[in-house]
Chain A
Amino acid sequence: MKKIIMAAAVTTMLAGPAMAGDAKIGIILGYTGPIESLTPDMAAGAEMAIAEVNASGAFMGGSSVTGIRADSTCIDAAAANAAAERLITSDKVNAIMGADCSGVTTSILQNVAMANGVVMISPSATSPALSTIEDDGLFFRTSPSDARQGQVVATILKDHGIKSAAITYTNNDYGKGLADSIETNIKAGGGTVTMNAAHEDGKGDYGAEVAALAQAGGEILVVAGYLDQGGKGIIQASLDSGAFDKFYLPDGMIGESLPKAIGPDLNGSIGGLPGTDSPGNAKFKDLVSGFKSDGPFVPESYDAAALIMLAMQAANSTDSQSFKGKVMAVANAPGEKIYPGELGKALKIIAGGGDVDYVGASAVELIGAGESAGSYKEIVIEGGKFTTVRYR
């Protein structure tokens, strides 16, 4: 026993201090749970930014960056906190790229990140509540708030000539925030919301929920849920009972697995997810190989990781307290515009005392307390595929 402890102690010491400037970034996303089909590509996006920085050799005088994955589960706050705690105390990460879903992001921020003073940049937490949350200046997001998504949904529906909609949302911070924002904006635009009701994830049967929604009526059903979970169940049950035949799919519902599971009945449904047709996005698509570059929040993940490293470079420190004040500076004007694939160039400009304005893959422009202003991609489902209509 003694020998084992000795051996363990020796290995830890050997593995411990590498170079002083080396940085570690925790990539905490829901690799299991309701958005598990989206997260591998998101993590790959963040890791691509890290690899790019390492390849440039320009990060803080030749230091390297390591990404360490941890599972946020998307819904289980206790498990997410434990994972974040492990990243910070045992893996000693300097910053966190994540988390993904709004509920676990809030929980990690309040219970772990703030307690340990570690910067978090989320690529996908969109709850409006996160705009005003107390965060000690540690929290940023490269995704827009759902207050913005609500406006976009209302505009898209109006442009389609849809005047009445029923809304169902997954019963958590993300779903509730988004549904309320959509309802407010539809009503402000003169439309009607026939019903705004929650559904629970992980049930076998959504017949009763759909029955209630069907009685309320409406030309379209807005499903503010998760594609691998209740959202899919609601759509299936609606189609089966003929309650609705057209759906609006917000960001959490867009993924290849949905049309595959539902089949041709989903054709004609519409949706929208954060996205941009900026030159940065096209460059990002060219750079990506081995994973899907146009999945939800994949460009945002690349940008979140890139922002962390640029801010570290600007502060010339991997300490969160030092570089948290630099995130807004590297993300916004003034300075030279930085697109994907130019992280090495950006690092050199910063090291030389210059200014950068990080545009990245998702046209990053941080507003308010540090969240993306938000441009959205409107999509329609045709022949079982998501087709981009335009950008808003």
Chain B
Amino acid sequence: MTDILNTLALIGNFIIVPGLAYGSQLALGALGITMVYGILRFSNFAHGETMSFGAMATILITWALQAQGVSFGVLPTALLALPFGILITIALCLFTDRLVYRYYRSQRAEPVTYLIVSVGVMFFLGGLIRFIIGPNDQIFSDGTRFIMKVQAFKEMTGLSEGLAIKTSQGVTIITAIVIVTLLFWFLNRTRTGKSMRAYSDNEDLALLSGINPERVVMIAWIITGTLAAVAGTLYGLDKSYKPFIFLQLLLPMFASAIVGGVGNPLGAIAGGFVIAFSELIVTFAYKKVLAYLLPLSMAPEGLMQLLSTDYKFAVSFLILVIVLLVKPTGIFSGKTL
């Protein structure tokens, strides 16, 4: 019995808790991508940098708050700064739309043109961010670091394996739940949300029924900016904020959106968790797990690792390829790419 509990603690510590946090971050990012794809009908490659921009804005305001002596008790001050970060990111999204995307909308440009334009926006934003905050690691988390420490867990349960839950992981999961609930309530229950879904399903019919397209686009950008700022800040809080990282995140986020079915918000969330957990499960070494579960004589000598952690990103690629081959519309049947 103890062996099974130990195994659970082990898996919880190294797979479930980090997977839930990473999955929530990916899901929020993928939701932003899916939102732009659903309403504006293009793959927004600038989304990673938008997240980075949101995190940067939040960090700068966090520093300002910390300098004023403001703190949020056990929770990170960044949560207080987040609403301001969201507003700044929304302003950025609306500004780029006004300056860049609106022109191509009026030209009725092809999706490929949009995609290239978004790559341009991505490079510009990346440069701007490095210009403002620099390319280095920024540490901005404060408050209590852990909800549950390994040592405390061991003493509490008497198990030999510990379970650590970082405050940032708890905050990530709870914030993600709140944001996603609000988003679904908005899309399914409000008039504006319904008009957006109508616009996404069939643009011409929506226009005929009197929906104002510019208003729908504006709200889509507001939602995207909010999601990006929240996702970027949570990732930065939980891991570390470094501008370069967000370029690497683009692949797993797109994979999440496509795996779940691009354009489908529910799919983006499912996709985020599928990608996060498969990265962790495939690269985990099962030596100790098997040692607990199997009789002593059968305990493995090797690491029992399926794939070296070097290939972590290859996992998202692989899942992406399999999904595109077997079910191109994604798990929840979004739009075919």
Q: Mark A residues whose CB is within 8 Å of B.
A: 171, 195, 197-200, 202-205, 207-209, 211-212, 214-217, 228, 233, 240-242, 261
Complex CA distance for A354 and B163, rounded to whole angstroms: 68
With contacts defined as CB atoms under 8 Å apart, how many contacts are there between chain A and chain B in the complex?
Answer: 81
Q: List 28 A-B contacts (CB under 8 A).
A: A195-B303, A200-B310, A203-B248, A204-B239, A204-B248, A204-B249, A205-B22, A207-B18, A208-B280, A208-B283, A211-B18, A211-B280, A211-B284, A212-B284, A212-B309, A215-B284, A215-B288, A215-B289, A215-B303, A215-B304, A216-B287, A228-B137, A241-B18, A241-B150, A241-B164, A242-B162, A242-B164, A261-B139
With both beta carbons as reference points, the residue of chain A lying nearest to B284 in the complex is identified as A211
* Contact bitstring B290-328, A, C-beta under 8 A = 1, else 0: 000000000000011100111010000000000000000
Least Cβ distance of A232 to chain B in Å? 8
Does any Cβ of A come within 8 Å of B14's Cβ?
yes
Whether B312 pairs with A208 at a CB distance below 8 angstroms is yes
CB distance from A167 to the nearest CB of B (A): 13
Instruction: For A233, list chain B residues within 8 Å (CB).
Output: 240
Tell whether, in the assembled complex, residue B235 and residue A204 are in contact, meaning their CB atoms are under 8 Å apart: yes
* Interchain CA distance A215-B13 in the complex, whole Å: 12
B244 at interface by CB-CB < 8 Å:
yes
Would A217 and B164 count as touching, CB distance under 8 A?
Answer: no
- B interface residues, Cβ below 8 angstroms from A: 13-15, 18, 22, 137, 139, 145-146, 149-151, 162, 164, 166, 235, 239-240, 242, 244-245, 248-249, 279-280, 283-289, 303-305, 308-310, 312
Return the chain A residue nearest B169 by Cβ.
A240
- Bound complex: CA A233 to CA B14 (Å): 16
User: Could you tell me the distance in whole angstroms from the C-beta of A210 to the nearest C-beta in chain B?
Assistant: 8
CB-CB nearest in chain A for B282: A208
Q: Is A202 in contact with B14, judged by CB distance below 8 angstroms?
A: no
Contacts of A195 in B (CB 8 A): 285, 303
Q: How far is the CA of A270 from the CA of B146 in the complex (A)?
A: 25
| Contact among A208, A215, A240, A261 with B164 in the assembled complex (CB-CB below 8 Å) | A240
Q: Please, which residue of chain B has its CB at the minimum distance from the CB of A209?
A: B309
A175 → chain B closest CB, angstroms: 13
Residues from chain A with a CB closer than 8 A to the CB of B151 are 242
Which of A208, A211, A228 has the most chain B CB atoms closer than 10 A to its own CB?
Answer: A208
Contact A242 B150 (CB under 8 A): yes
A-B residue pairs, 5 tightest by C-beta: A242-B150, A204-B245, A215-B285, A211-B14, A204-B239
Asked if B14 and A216 sit within 8 Å, CB to CB, the answer is no
Cross-chain contact A204 with B242 (CB below 8 angstroms): yes
Tell me which residues across on chain B come within 8 A of A207, comparing CB atoms.
14, 18, 22, 280
In the complex, A261→B303 CA distance in Å? 31
B288 / chain A contacts, CB cutoff of 8 Å: 215, 217
Contacts A204-B239, A204-B242 aside, 7 further interface pairs with beta carbons under 8 A come to A202-B242, A204-B249, A207-B22, A211-B14, A212-B303, A216-B287, A217-B287
Contact A211 B285 (CB under 8 A): yes
Inside 8 A of A216's CB, which chain B residues have their CB? 285, 287, 303
Name the CB-closest residue of A to B283.
A208
Q: Could you say which of B151, B283, B309, B310 has the most chain A C-beta atoms within 10 Å of its C-beta?
A: B309
A208:B235 contact, CB within 8 angstroms? no
Give A171 to B249 CA distance when docked, in angstroms.
20
Chain B nearest CB from A325 CB (Å) reads: 43
Residues of B within 8 A of A200 (CB): 310
CA distance A200 to B314 in the complex (A): 14
- Which residues of A have CB within 8 Å of B308? 197, 212
Partner of A204, one of B240, B287, B289, B304: B240
Contacts of A208 in B (CB 8 A): 279-280, 283-284, 309, 312
Residue of B nearest to A216 (CB): B303
Q: List residues of chain B with CB within 8 A of the CB of A242.
A: 13, 149-151, 162, 164
